[in-house]
Amino acid sequence: MKIKSFRDLRVWSAGIDLVEEVHRLTQLFPQYEIYSLANQMRRASVSIPSNIAEGHAREHLKEYLHHLSIAQGSLAELVTQIEIAFRLGYMAKDHCNQIVDKTESLGKQIRALRTSLMNTCNQ
Domain boundaries, the chain: 6-121
Residue 42: partners with Cβ closer than 8 Å, 6 or more residues away? 19, 22, 23, 26
Q: What is the pLDDT along the chain (123 residues), one digit of tens a residue?
A: 677 889 999 999 999 999 999 999 999 999 999 889 999 999 999 999 999 999 999 989 999 999 999 999 999 999 999 999 999 999 999 999 999 999 999 999 999 999 999 887 776
pLDDT for 123:
60
* 3 state SS for 90-122: CCCHHHHHHHHHHHHHHHHHHHHHHHHHHHHHC
pLDDT for res 34: 85
**Structurally, what CATH architecture does the domain formed by 6-121 represent?**
Up-down Bundle (1.20)
Distance CA 120, CA 123 (A): 5
What is the predicted pLDDT for the residue at 52? 97
Residues 6+ away with beta carbon under 8 Å from 19: 42, 45, 46, 48, 49
pTM for the whole structure: 0.93
